[in-house]
Structure 1
Amino acid sequence: MLMVGGHYTYAEVPLFDGLFGSERNNYDKVGHFFQGFVPALLAREILIRKNVVNGDFWRSVIIVSICLAFSAFYELVEWWVAIATGENAEAFLGTQGYVWDTQSDMGLALLGAICSLLVLSSVHNKQLQKELFKG
């Protein structure tokens, strides 16, 4: 996914031009969704294996918070690199004139983390149970 965005730049991936009638290329939004989706599983695995938090509710709150922290840090790094390189920040960041780009990126990471927990937690629990009874 990153290689496609790196080849075209995130604002110019052909498949996403004008998708769903949008004036901007939303390829980067897919990446930000998965920026929450994938780390949620990793964080969940670590928190369960290390027995850091008991209870599904608080574990989920912490997992979502970890994903949002990761997303916020990524947005800060993007900003710092744009400032440090003196590049056209809008082109580098892929904001395409969208004033709420950073907030929507983080919103999609939040949505990705929540979707990951809702869709994959039961599957993950079954895998962990199999491993527990195996060992």
Structure 2
Amino acid sequence: MASRPNLLLLLFILPWIAWSAWRPHDRVTWWLEVTPVFIGFIALAIAARKGWRFSSFVLVWIALHMVLLLVGGHYTYALTPLGDWMKEWCGFTRNHYDRIGHLFQGIVPALVTSEILIRNDVFARRGWLHFTVISFCLAFSACYELVEWAAALISAEAAESFLGTQGDPWDTQMDMFLAGIGSLISLFLFKPLHDRSIAKLHGH
């Protein structure tokens, strides 16, 4: 059943949603940061109604990305404890939790997109697959930066918390660069594990 893995994902994420929503640092920022989680569940539900389910490998990465978003939404990305610990341990000048988020913004969309294209036999050659997935991830990252910009214009109070630039004038460019790196990690480093997970799905 296509819906069973999605149900397990929901059961895993629900406690994180409850924790994240309990007295977040800034309620407006929380909604801005965690809305993709709810959109993700809606998209998975629609796909399940059509009989589609993602491989276990992709679902695990979707779950990790959701947790990352919920943690960032609770604290705001600039104040997340993990980023502060990294700052102390590595001598960083800023909280880099948002960098992890944008790396995931390349990893997870690349896994999702490549699996859809592979399983629907969209491309006969992997080269076109790689080109399309990387292009999509960079475009998705750019669109997300535009959403952040628009949200900052609408809500001046939440602008700094949501954007999380922390005084870095090249923050937008670095975010898109990391999304691109994330897509490369998915396509090349994770390829054997991803292919194996897709093969198991077909085996069932």
Query: How does the TM-score come out when normalised to structure 2?
Result: 0.61
- Which residue pairs with 2:104 in the alignment? 34
Does the 8 A contact of 1:90 with 1:97 survive in 2? no
Query: Which of 181, 186, 202 is matched with 1:116 structurally?
Result: 186
**Residue 6 to residue 88, structure 1, CA distance change in 2 (3 Å):** closer
Identity of aligned residues (%): 51
Q: 1:87 aligns with which of 134, 157, 170?
A: 157
Aligned-partner Cα distance in 2 for 1:44–1:88: 34
Secondary structure of 2:168 counterpart: coil
- Residue 3 (structure 1) aligns with: 70
C-alpha separation between the residues in 1 aligned to 2:172 and 2:125?
Answer: 32
Residue among 114, 127, 130 paired with 1:60:
130
TM-score (norm 1): 0.89
The structure-2 alpha-carbon separation of the partners of 1:123 and 1:88, relative to structure 1 and needing over 3 Å to count, comes to closer
- Structure 1 segments unaligned to the other structure (5+ residues): none
Are 1:40 and 1:116, in contact at CA under 8 Å, matched by a contact in 2?
Answer: yes
- Deviations along 1:13-51, one digit per CA (max 9) or x if unpaired, are 122122421111110010100010011111111111222
The number of aligned residues is: 134
Q: Distance in 2 between matches of 1:131 and 1:89?
A: 42
- Cα deviation, 1:55-85, whole Å, max 9, x if unaligned, reads 1111111111111111111111011001011
**C-alpha distance in 1, partners of 2:99/2:156?**
24
d(CA) in 2 for partners of 1:24, 1:63: 31
Gaps of 5+ in 2: 1-67
Report the residue type matching 2:75 in the other structure.
Y
Which amino acid letter does the alignment assign opposite residue 38 of structure 1? V
Question: Could you tell me which of 141, 145, 153 is aligned with 1:71?
Answer: 141
Question: Does the C-alpha gap of structure 1 residues 52 and 90 become closer, same or farther in structure 2, counting only changes over 3 Å?
Answer: same
Distance in 2, matches of 1:66 and 1:38, equals 12
Report the Cα offset of residue 88 of structure 1: 5.6
The CA RMSD measured in Å over matched residues stands at 1.7
Q: Name the structure 2 match of 1:125.
A: 195
